């Protein structure tokens, strides 16, 4: 056994054999004479008692609570990718078979709603605060559904507000600048929804909402839906012709 010794002169700490207990000798660092304490003089620091029941060896018999994780599993990842690809495949089918009318309004609304849950769930699984207990089970499902519906409703801002304010017949008649400003406002609203539903940080909330809105823009491109830049009906017609 060894004894912990601290030189009172140079404060160097070292160990000596217990056979030198109570004896004097030079410090190996400063060479000054010091006394080696007796074994009984050693200070033993004990861990604080947590009050938990213990077994004969002094170990706690209580087991720590297992933390539930909500990381993306292979099954969940496959389901998410499959759902997203299915929605995009249907969008392509509508584009190829829709003719001049294009993708019908009900299909566009269905795409907004169906694409939201898998993206919201996957985004939360990547972005949730590791310091917090993650949402799981029915609570996670309910929050995903609420967030999905709110994301789809926020998209209605783009579909109706600019056209109403600018007195346009269709939302796709707004300019690209107006469309960009509107999308930024939607992104801000979406980040607030993400923060409120999942307690994400501001940056993660922006990324979470942006994931959905970018996917919707890509879905519109794939399905042949024009979001902005269409010339309003009647622009460029000659008044003298009565048009």
d(CA 24, CA 38): 11
**Residue that has been written with the tokens 């929804």 in this structure:** 193
Nearest to 106 by CA among 230, 225, 201: 225
Per-residue pLDDT at 200 exceeds 60: yes
pLDDT of residue 231: 76
**Mean pLDDT of the region 85-90:** 89
**Helix axis angle, 176-198 relative to 202-223, nearest 10°?**
130
Share of the chain above pLDDT 90, in %: 22
pLDDT of residue 104: 82
DSSP labels, the chain: -EEEEE-TTT--EEEEEGGGTT-EEE-TTT--EEEPPPGGG---PPPPP----B-TTS-B-PPPPPPPP-PPPHHHHHHHHHHHHHHHHHHHHHHHHSGGG-S-HHHHHHHHHHHHHHHHHHHHHHHS-TTSPPP-HHHHHHHHHHHHHHHHHHHHHHHHHHHHHTT-SSGGGS-HHHHHHHHHHHHHHHHHHHHHHH---HHHHHHHHHHHHHHHHHHHHHHT---S-PPPTTTT--GGGT-
Per-residue pLDDT at 242 exceeds 60: no
Residue 239's pLDDT band, with cuts at 50, 70 and 90, is very low
| CA torsion angle 45 49 55 58 (round to 10) | 0
Overall size of the chain counted in residues:
243
pLDDT of residue 109: 85
Contacts of 210 (CB under 8 A, 6+ apart): 187, 190
pLDDT digits (tens, 9 = 90+) for 202-222: 999 999 999 999 999 999 888
Residue 223's pLDDT band, with cuts at 50, 70 and 90, is confident
pLDDT of residue 91: 86
Share of the chain above pLDDT 70, in %: 78
Mean residue pLDDT across the chain: 80
Which of 83-87, 99-103, 107-111, 135-139 comes out lowest in average pLDDT?
99-103
pLDDT digits (tens, 9 = 90+) for 26-65: 888 888 888 877 766 555 555 666 666 666 666 766 666 5
Per-residue pLDDT at 158 exceeds 70: yes
Residue 186's pLDDT band, with cuts at 50, 70 and 90, is very high
pLDDT of residue 237: 41
pLDDT digits (tens, 9 = 90+) for 125-140: 888 877 778 888 899 8
Taking the CA of residue 156 as centre, how many other CA atoms within 13 Å lie in the half-sphere pointing to its CB? 8
pLDDT of residue 175: 87
The answer to whether the beta carbons of residues 136 and 68 sit under 8 Å apart is yes
The answer to whether the beta carbons of residues 125 and 149 sit under 8 Å apart is no
**Mean pLDDT of the region 90-115:** 82
Burial pattern 74-104, b for ≥16 Cβ within 10 A else e, equals eeeeeebeebbeebbebbeebbeeeeeeebe
């Amino acid at each position: 056994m060894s004894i912990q010794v601290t030189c009172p002169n140079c404060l160097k700490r070292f160990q000596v054999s217990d056979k030198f207990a109570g004896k004097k000798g030079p410090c190996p660092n400063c060479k000054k004479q010091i006394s080696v304490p007796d074994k009984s003089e050693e200070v033993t620091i004990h861990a604080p008692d947590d009050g938990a029941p213990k077994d004969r060896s002094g170990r706690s018999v209580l087991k720590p609570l297992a933390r539930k994780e909500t990381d993306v599993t292979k099954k969940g990842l496959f389901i998410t990718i499959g759902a997203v690809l299915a929605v995009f495949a249907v969008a392509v089918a509508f584009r190829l078979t829709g003719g001049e009318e294009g993708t019908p309004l009900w299909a566009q609304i269905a795409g907004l709603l169906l694409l939201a849950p898998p993206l919201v769930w996957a985004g939360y699984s990547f972005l949730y605060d590791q310091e917090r207990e993650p949402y799981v089970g029915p609570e996670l499902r309910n929050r995903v559904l609420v967030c999905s519906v709110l994301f789809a409703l926020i998209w209605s801002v783009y579909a109706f507000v600019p056209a109403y304010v600018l007195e346009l017949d269709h939302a796709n008649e707004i300019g690209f600048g107006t469309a960009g400003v509107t999308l930024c406002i939607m992104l801000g609203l979406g980040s607030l929804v993400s923060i409120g539903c999942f307690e994400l940080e501001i940056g993660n909330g922006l990324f979470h909402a942006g994931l959905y809105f970018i996917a919707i823009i890509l879905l519109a491109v794939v399905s042949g839906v024009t979001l902005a830049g269409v010339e309003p009906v009647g622009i460029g017609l000659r008044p003298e012709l009565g048009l």
